[in-house]
Structure 1
Amino acid sequence: MKHLTIPALALLSLSAPAWAEITITDLRGREVTLEAPAQEVLLGFYYEDFLAVTGTGAVDRIVGLSRGPWAEWRPKQWEIYTAAFPQLADLPDVGDTESSTFSIETALATDPDLVILAGWQYDSLGESAQQFDTAGIPVLVLDYNAQTLDAHLASTRALGKAMGTEDRAEALATLYEDMTADTAARVETATSAPKVYVELAQKGPDEVGNTYAGGMWGGVIDRLGGTNIANGQIENWGPLSPEYVLAEAPEVIFLSGSEWLNRPAAVPLGFAADPALAQERMAAYLARPGWSDLPAVQDGEVYGIYHGGSRTLSDFAYFRFIGKALHPEAFADVDPQAELAQFYADWLPITLDGTFMMHAE
């Protein structure tokens, strides 16, 4: 939304391709209209999805960020991207809706021609988001957090349309749809539904972390033919009692780790994660009272998985990792780590470097 002089506008009209007005239905059912593909984007979330769909020059089209969910939630990922693209660190930070620091005034000052928000960010802003409408700045709401095939595909296609990269978006949507269909077909051949326990391995073994039912990893386990021991015990997320976990005797356990700051006992997974340290931290969980008697521990069916791996275009690889743990015969020829690395090689501007999924020794 830069202001051009009349001669500059005349020159632009002679040299630039003519774009028809773009109309998009976003993930809140809103009709969003752009005069041309967005060139100056205020990016609230879905950073890697934006880069994957937009392709070459994507970083140059960002004028501001909600930095906290990237730099604070995924600090190692942020370090790798800012090493490759130092300009990211210099972009204005508009704050974060989760910490109630999001500033509409700062966002407007970045002078974007499009604001991209996650559904949860848009919902958190409430009526405040109308200030963008008043300023004549379109807001596109995406929702990979919905964790449905339809929402993933719709978000990808909407983003491609907004950025003028529809062919690239369609290729990504097709890849995601094909991988999802292949995963579902493999699950259909499975003959067992092992009991599964997932724990957010953030606080260390001395304190029980959240598990999930219905959404997040819980919803994934349901779709992949596992029996989630959290179902019926919690709503969305929360801890289970140690006694309940022992009584349920899970056959497969997933410890969800990440790049958290100031969490000295957490299982460190993600970018630049040390696999030896991750194994050491996972071993501490397995040493909990009573865990040595659990079928998952006795049979060596304990796994680490990157907590940032779901609710994104590359999450199909993590789902296939879980599927392989639950149904090893059906996924015998699948290498989820290789599939994830290939996704980065094909679609993202950095090389995958770290530990994202692992089998506890």
Structure 2
Amino acid sequence: MRDFAASVLLTAALLPAGAAAADTITVTDITGRTVQVEGPVEKVILGEGRQIYFTAALDTEEPFRRVVGWRDDFEKADNDGYHQYLEKYPEMAELPTFGGMKDGTFDVEQAVALDPDVIILNIDAKAATEEGGYIEKLEKVGIPVVFIDFREKPMAHTEPSMRIIGKLYDKEEQAEAFIRFRAEEIAKVTDRLAAEKDLKRPVVFMERAGGYSDDCCMSFGNENFGMMVELAGGTNMASNIIPGTFGTVNPEQIIASNPDHVIVTGANWDLYVPGGAWVGVGSGADPEVTSEKLANLMERPGFTGVKAVQEGNVHAIWHQFYNSPYQFVAIQQIAKWLNPDLFADIDPDATFKELHDRFLPIDYRPGYFVSLKSDG
């Protein structure tokens, strides 16, 4: 034993100065916290299953290689996307799943047993995480928590979030390549709009998860899809009604605003609301089915007489653009709906396919957008 100890001490003495510290990664997360993580990270718990959207964009060859656990929301929130990944990576079904911080079902003991290098959480879980004392409990056993954000302020936080994850995963070059691609594709819209001297901005009502419940109507303020509408050349109807990122408007407000376009977000939510009125756009969705469900939603009070419905300017778009680093595809599609002549040469499906071809481990399957206007 003495010989072994001496050997360890000798090895340590021969290491170059600072070698041990080189394994410690320091990041400033989206909340401004300075966090030290032993890295590069080899074992991670994803605070949301949908965080596979960014993990797959960095670990393209083996998207689940460092995931030791994740929240149980992916299959429920994006059933079609989940099953597309499952086809190629059946082992993902065996990953341990967690409840959420916000609903108090996160199991600290289970997380400790998995011995992750880091837990990555969305910023919307921060308040509940602090109230439950989770950060302190996890820090005591050497598990750091890092917050990222693609939902609350995605247009401001996507780039720094991708850089944080790229640094943790030792995939900084891949993260920068993704960021450049995203910026270039957004600029194809914003640069062209900036050059238009007499740009007319149609009024757009963004309905969040239309048909998910019988209530009407969830929407977006000046962030998330609300800001995407503005970047795409429209005026977000709810920007003066909803003070934060998310909120609700009533049917009377829709009638009074008489929007030029209505865009409903949707996905396959059959595990959340079986047989619901939601519009199941997403990976490989059938456009005949989704357009029929979209048309049915426009028969609700508050929609039947508005300009958008009368002129057929009603559309549905994949809900998960609101919670992933792929928002640039949504910006292109919204811009094409609002100004089809100006963006006649823009093909959002081709953009999304290129994203898949360059960064993702699965093939692109169209179905993420549908419009009631035949040329939409």
TM-score after normalising by structure 1: 0.88
Determine if contact 2:263/2:315 at 8 Å carries over to the other structure. yes
Query: Which is further off, 144-153 or 340-349?
Result: 144-153
Q: Does 1:53 align with 2:62?
A: no
Counterpart of 1:317, as a letter, is: V
In the alignment, the residues of structure 1 paired with residue 102 and residue 284 of structure 2 have an alpha-carbon distance, to the nearest angstrom, of: 26
Q: Does 1:241 align with 2:244?
A: no
Look up the match of 1:108: 112
How many residues align? The count is 351
Determine if contact 2:43/2:116 at 8 Å carries over to the other structure. yes
In the alignment, the residues of structure 2 paired with residue 335 and residue 354 of structure 1 have an alpha-carbon distance, to the nearest angstrom, of: 12
Look up the match of 1:40: 43
In the alignment, the residues of structure 1 paired with residue 302 and residue 211 of structure 2 have an alpha-carbon distance, to the nearest angstrom, of: 19
Determine if contact 1:202/1:257 at 8 Å carries over to the other structure. yes
In structure 2, which of residues 361, 364, 370 is the aligned counterpart of residue 349 of structure 1?
361
Determine if contact 1:203/1:263 at 8 Å carries over to the other structure. no
Look up the match of 2:187: 181
Which runs of 5 or more residues in structure 2 are unaligned? Answer: none
Give RMSD over aligned pairs: 2.7
Counterpart of 1:343, as a letter, is: L
Distance of aligned partners of 1:121 and 1:306 in 2 relative to their CA distance in 1, 3 Å threshold = same
- Superposed, which structure 2 residues align to 1:196-211 within 5 Å? 196-203=204-211, 207-211=215-219
In structure 2, which of residues 331, 335, 341 is the aligned counterpart of residue 329 of structure 1?
341
- Partner of 2:151, secondary structure, is helix
In the alignment, the residues of structure 2 paired with residue 59 and residue 252 of structure 1 have an alpha-carbon distance, to the nearest angstrom, of: 39
Which runs of 5 or more residues in structure 1 are unaligned? Answer: none
- Partner of 1:325, secondary structure, is helix
Query: Which is further off, 152-161 or 257-266?
Result: 257-266
Percent of residue pairs identical: 29
Look up the match of 1:215: 223
Per-residue CA deviation, residues 294-315 of structure 1 (Å, 9 max, x unaligned), is 3222332111111111232211
- Partner of 1:355, secondary structure, is coil
Query: Which is further off, 79-88 or 222-231?
Result: 222-231
Determine if contact 1:187/1:323 at 8 Å carries over to the other structure. no
Distance of aligned partners of 1:206 and 1:71 in 2 relative to their CA distance in 1, 3 Å threshold = closer
Per-residue CA deviation, residues 262-287 of structure 1 (Å, 9 max, x unaligned), is 25221111124221111111111233
TM-score after normalising by structure 2: 0.85
Look up the match of 2:240: 232
- Superposed, which structure 2 residues align to 1:1-361 within 5 Å? 20-21=22-23, 22-45=25-48, 46-67=51-72, 69-126=73-130, 127-190=133-196, 191-203=199-211, 207-236=215-244, 237-261=246-270, 262-288=274-300, 291-361=303-373
In the alignment, the residues of structure 2 paired with residue 121 and residue 279 of structure 1 have an alpha-carbon distance, to the nearest angstrom, of: 34
Determine if contact 1:205/1:288 at 8 Å carries over to the other structure. no
Counterpart of 1:192, as a letter, is: K
Counterpart of 1:209, as a letter, is: C
The structural deviation recorded for 1:181 is 2.8
Determine if contact 2:29/2:147 at 8 Å carries over to the other structure. yes
